Amino acid sequence: MDQRVIPPQIIGLPGSLRQQSYSLAVLRGLQAHPDLAVDLRIWRLDLPLYNEDEDGSAAPVVVQRFRNAIGRSTGIVIATPEYNHGIPGVLKNALDWASRPFGKSVLIHKPVLVISVSPAFTGGARAHAQVNETLLSIPADVIGGPQVVIGNAASKIVDGSVADKNDLAFAISAVHGMLAYTSARWGQPQSLLAEI
Ligand code: FNR
């Protein structure tokens, strides 16, 4: 009987809807990188605005699909810009949807790695800290360690791809850290063997 390796499924959440987004480019760089044996699926966060009246069993279908995808995943990688020294609305909105139902959220103890990206030298560090704080309130399992904060993005991300190999290598090592955490925490292998 043949076996094949099924790579861990990771959901990539860009905190920007912009077509030429630097944050999206970082996720695409991770998605395509040969050093990262993961199935990274990027979700565009154009969800309706959170409304508690529309939540519950009748939550919008797109929200239900979003929650299910998170629930099935091994972990989440968020790559986000900083807007006005804080979390972009689209990302906060998506985390608010994913955080419910209270006490049963698919994000509870889900490993989440946050990467911030900015053309400023500060690299979106303030948004980075705020996203971590939101995640801790759920509580998701925020992956600690050296913060992946990518500054001066305009000179490093060219034509939608990350030209700076050091930044990409740093981000890849953080994703490996998340996979190692997942194995240690849940005792699950980093890759699953499937019989085919
Ligand atoms: C920004 N930008 C920005 N950058 C930053 O480092 N700190 C900040 O507080 C802000 N504030 C801010 C507010 C708003 C409304 C916008 C539109 C932009 C600049 C931002 O980092 C830049 O536009 C990025 O390119 C946006 O990220 P994406 O779309 O490239 O991922």
pLDDT in tens, 10-56: 999 999 999 999 999 999 999 999 999 999 999 999 999 999 999 98
CATH 1.10.443.10 fits 8-187, yes or no: no
CA distance readout (Å), 165 to 19, 54, 157, 168, 179: 22, 44, 10, 5, 21
What pLDDT sits at residue 1?
61
81 CA closest ligand 1 atom index: 27
Residue ranges per structural domain of the chain: 8-187
Is residue 124 a contact partner of residue 81, using CB atoms and an 8 Å limit? yes
Beta-carbon neighbour count of residue 133 at 10 Å?
11
58 or 171, which is more confident:
171
**Mutation choice for ligand 1 from 21, 46, 82, CB with most ligand atoms inside 8 A:** 82
Residue nearest to atom 26 of ligand 1 (CA): 81
Name every residue whose Cβ is closer than 8 Å to that of residue 116 and which is 6 or more positions away in sequence.
79, 80, 81, 82, 123, 124, 125, 127, 128, 131, 147, 148, 149, 150
How much distance in Å is there from the Cα of 83 to the middle of ligand 1? 5
How much distance in Å is there from the Cα of 81 to the middle of ligand 1? 6
120 CA closest ligand 1 atom index: 6
Beta-ladder partners of 79: 14, 115
What DSSP character marks residue 12?
E
**Ligand 1: does its nearest atom lie under 6 Å from the Cβ of 125?**
no
Residues 120 and 24: their CA atoms lie apart, in Å, by 17
What pLDDT sits at residue 186?
73
What pLDDT sits at residue 192?
54
What pLDDT sits at residue 185?
82
Residues 116 and 125: their CA atoms lie apart, in Å, by 7
Q: Is the per-residue pLDDT at 174 higher than 90?
A: yes
**Ligand 1: does its nearest atom lie under 6 Å from the Cβ of 182?**
no
Residues 173 and 107: their CA atoms lie apart, in Å, by 22
Beta-ladder partners of 193: 5
pTM score of the predicted model: 0.94
